[in-house]
Structure 1
Amino acid sequence: MNRNRAAHFAAAYALFRMAADYADHWGQSDFDAQCKGATDEAPVTYKHEDTGKETVVGTKGGRAACTRHVINYTATQGIVLVVGSRLLGVRLNPAAVAGALALSGLTHYAADRRVPNGLLHRLAKASGKERFYKLADRGMNGAYCLDQSWHHSFETFAAALASLGSSTR
């Protein structure tokens, strides 16, 4: 990897990470955060903060909530990556950026659906981390930590992909 490509990867990763952290926490609606893992077998009862109205959300609503979140998440990453790279004078290959955003968005959806015995839970169980996954004590939430680790890992791959064919203006 040449120095320019390494610098472009570092810039892409920093931009991906900042955008992801914002979109996953500040940018995500409360409804989507609460309901994105809902299924008919494990429905979520969402109580609106302002009105107190309760809504029961099943599989269809859970998929919709997760899809909305991932679209917002991926769009935020795309905007930040394009604007940030232009400000830094880095010209990214549009096809590489599209591939990077697809990788980030699809893997984000796979982790965030969190259906009972979902992908992250199955991976945690297979790797001997199920107890950590289920930990919700002493200020720690294992499922959240593993979720974020999953996202950071794929953002790294996405940043490497985005930096392919990049150049400096």
Structure 2
Amino acid sequence: MWEKIKHKFQKYPARINVAKKIVELGLRVGPNGKIYCGDVEISDMALARAANVDRRTIRATTQVILQDKDLKKIFESIIPAGALLKETAKNLELGVVEIEANANNPGILAKAATLIASKGISIRQAHASDPELEENPKLTIITEKPIPGDLLKKFLKIEGVKRVSIY
């Protein structure tokens, strides 16, 4: 997907940043060229500040998106993923494990979930950041209760795992 997007904006790096920010935040481009989070309209200025560009770059990016059949299909169908409970997990007495790993290794989520299930703990949320959007992608798993510390070494034994944090 990113190769297609980069190709369309290759002469305009600021527009690539806008497209990445739209995807990263789960925003979509409406047929009217406006930006939405679900059904809430996001102002050009707010997105421009978040993407470190001026508002004209937002307009120019959405125009390119709407004029390109493939990009239009992608950006008109994005939906927000929902709130990640990581920041409030402690207040809710939930557990959090954050795994930094090589994104090219398959099965990391499955193996981590198996370890968590072996302790009889249910997973409430799992979110893997996109390796094309982040230099060090992370898998964040929110659990119904705190993760026991003895799982730390087991998580680190999963092939491709670089770093693990348990909160």
> TM-score, normalization: structure 1?
0.25
- Find the structure with the greater CA-based Rg: 2
Which has a greater percent of helix? 1
TM-score relative to the length of structure 2: 0.25
